[in-house]
Amino acid sequence: MKSLIFLILLSCCTLSFGQQNDKISTIDFVQIVDNNKAEALYYFQNNWQVLRNMAIEAGYIHSYQFLETPVNEGEPFEFMLITTYLNHEQYKLREEHFLELINKSGDLKLLNDKQPADFRKTLFSKEMVRHLD
């Protein structure tokens, strides 16, 4: 009887600790161009975040984060844009899904009629960032 209880407990522990986290994120490191921070904030809040909220509602992504970080000489980016997908299937379909949402959302919302290239530059991106927790 004790052996049976031990095996059941061991099985439960193995199942709970053995689960794999399938989440995948993309991270963009964005620099503000020519001190156009107001335009960049407006753009990300009224376009990027709106699309991410639509994507969550549609079940296309798991979550997102819009982070601000101090700029320094070695790291000249000010924003980190993180989009997290629940699994590889969501990640694989990301382009198709976001194209659909962009078409639904209409024209870009811009401050002072400045185009994105005038106020932001993606310095680099990280794809397929796996979650360990």
Span 109-131, pLDDT tens digits: 999 999 999 999 999 999 999 99
pTM: 0.83
Whole-number Å distance between alpha carbons of 58 and 45 = 19
Q: Is there a contact between 50 and 121 (Cβ–Cβ < 8 Å)?
A: no
Indicate the SS3 state at residue 110: coil
Q: Do the domain assignments include residue 105?
A: yes
Q: Which of 84, 74, 67, 113 is nearest to 24 (CA)?
A: 84
φ and ψ at 37, to 5 degrees? -65, -40
Q: Do the domain assignments include residue 49?
A: yes
Whole-number Å distance between alpha carbons of 63 and 86 = 8
Q: Do the domain assignments include residue 55?
A: yes
CATH number for 36: 3.30.70.100
Q: Do the domain assignments include residue 10?
A: no
Whole-number Å distance between alpha carbons of 15 and 29 = 37
Whole-number Å distance between alpha carbons of 28 and 99 = 18
Whole-number Å distance between alpha carbons of 112 and 4 = 71
Q: Do the domain assignments include residue 8?
A: no
As for how many domains the chain has, the answer is 1
Give the largest CA-CA distance in the chain. 75
**What are the tens digits of pLDDT across the range 61-113?**
999 999 999 999 999 999 999 999 999 999 999 999 999 999 999 999 999 99
Q: Do the domain assignments include residue 13?
A: no
Q: Do the domain assignments include residue 6?
A: no
Q: Which domain holds residue 106?
A: 21-130
Q: Do the domain assignments include residue 14?
A: no
